[in-house]
Structure 1
């Protein structure tokens, strides 16, 4: 009991001194104008930067801040998120560049794949155009048959009317297909041009290092 009482007294005597050592006696900083400021409390002019919390006995106790208002903190977090997204985007671009370079280590391979891809589209478009021309010839024959009915499809047999419908639908389908192939050809040309612009610096660097 006596020992506990003595221990409590000793702790009570030490605690204020320990607290004094842990409490800053002065705050110091340089503001945005480069002025050296000090105060016995955190300095408002340095809220946007770190401040030094100094011991009463001298020496740096810790650094404080910067401190932000809720609005400033939200803006800062938004900036950090934007920076993270930009960094992730740059990292993704680097990965894509490495994958692209692994696929096309030289211009010859890139040119060959471009030529093959465009040739396939050209062939598909050529076949579709030939079929479209055949459909137009078929339509001429149907128009000639329709003359037996004075050009009036309402008076034509159902079989002939269905042939007209099928011909028109096939013409529309082939026209859409040709248009889609032409658009795909433009997209491919732009893609290969963009890839080449990315890859040429790497190809030149590789050639120079040999």
Structure 2
């Protein structure tokens, strides 16, 4: 165990003495005893030991190797730190991309207006189609009304035509509702981007990189 501890801490039990003279190791063991030795103390492998100069001044503190739980906890912290840095780098990359695409608020507002216009145009076409289908529904219902006195003479095709028209109206109304949701998503997207971009727009632009001087041969 002493060999493992020495390997983990970088201390050799019989290492050559440093230029400042022989070391003195001191610690308090698990029983509260103050121990000293000219080499790492086996009774204090699980706790800090002070390495002293011959004068008694502190040369360094030798820490014990981590326990399995401490090692796992440190690895978890290291992984979390790596992930945090990766997320920060990705966020910085996204901000650079957004700044290139939207260098100022006017450009961002213009893109919002363009996106909303496309949705509005689709909604207008959908409403137009719903109006056409509703007029077709009225025509079918008017044709069916002529057979109200004798429904047995009503052509079967009228029932199917009405069912088809009602189904088509339902599809178009569903599409219109989805377009309404898309319009809300567009607003939410641009509102979120605007909140991210405002601090970036307010920051001074980075200094352009200076080209390296070209040395001409003499």
**TM (normalized to structure 2)?**
0.66
Query: 2:20 corresponds to which residue?
Result: none
Q: Write the distance in 2 (CA, Å) between the matches of 1:116 and 1:144.
A: 42
Q: Do the aligned partners of residues 154 and 101 (structure 1) sit closer, same or farther apart at CA in structure 2, a change above 3 Å counting?
A: farther
The structure 1 residue matched to 2:100, chosen from 74, 99, 102, is: 102
Q: Write the distance in 2 (CA, Å) between the matches of 1:131 and 1:174.
A: 7
The answer to whether the 8 A contact 1:22-1:61 is kept is no
RMSD of Structure 2 on Structure 1 (CA): 3.8
Q: Write the distance in 2 (CA, Å) between the matches of 1:123 and 1:95.
A: 33
Q: How does 1:154-193 map to 2 (within 5 A)?
A: 156-193=154-191
Query: 2:68 corresponds to which residue?
Result: 70
> What are the superposed Cα offsets for residues 85-136 of structure 1, whole Å, 9 maximum, x if unpaired?
1111111110000000011111111111110110110111011112112211
**Gaps spanning 5+ residues in structure 1: where?**
1-17, 30-36
The answer to whether the 8 A contact 1:28-1:53 is kept is no
**TM (normalized to structure 1)?**
0.69
Q: Write the distance in 1 (CA, Å) between the matches of 2:57 and 2:108.
A: 65
Q: Do the aligned partners of residues 154 and 82 (structure 1) sit closer, same or farther apart at CA in structure 2, a change above 3 Å counting?
A: farther
Q: C-alpha displacement at 1:206, in angstroms?
A: 3.9
How many residues align? The count is 180
> What are the superposed Cα offsets for residues 161-207 of structure 1, whole Å, 9 maximum, x if unpaired?
22122212211211111111111111110111111111112222348
Q: Quick check: which one's helix share is greater? A: 1
* Residue 44 (str. 1) matches residue 57 (str. 2): no
The answer to whether the 8 A contact 2:47-2:63 is kept is no
Q: Write the distance in 2 (CA, Å) between the matches of 1:156 and 1:53.
A: 108
The answer to whether the 8 A contact 1:55-1:61 is kept is yes
* Residue 26 (str. 1) matches residue 28 (str. 2): no
Q: Write the distance in 1 (CA, Å) between the matches of 2:69 and 2:63.
A: 16
Q: Do the aligned partners of residues 73 and 149 (structure 1) sit closer, same or farther apart at CA in structure 2, a change above 3 Å counting?
A: farther
Q: Write the distance in 2 (CA, Å) between the matches of 1:69 and 1:116.
A: 60
2:15 aligns to what SS in structure 1? helix
Q: Do the aligned partners of residues 153 and 180 (structure 1) sit closer, same or farther apart at CA in structure 2, a change above 3 Å counting?
A: farther
Q: C-alpha displacement at 1:160, in angstroms?
A: 1.6
The answer to whether the 8 A contact 1:121-1:181 is kept is yes
2:146 aligns to what SS in structure 1? helix
Q: Write the distance in 2 (CA, Å) between the matches of 1:138 and 1:59.
A: 100
* Residue 197 (str. 1) matches residue 195 (str. 2): yes
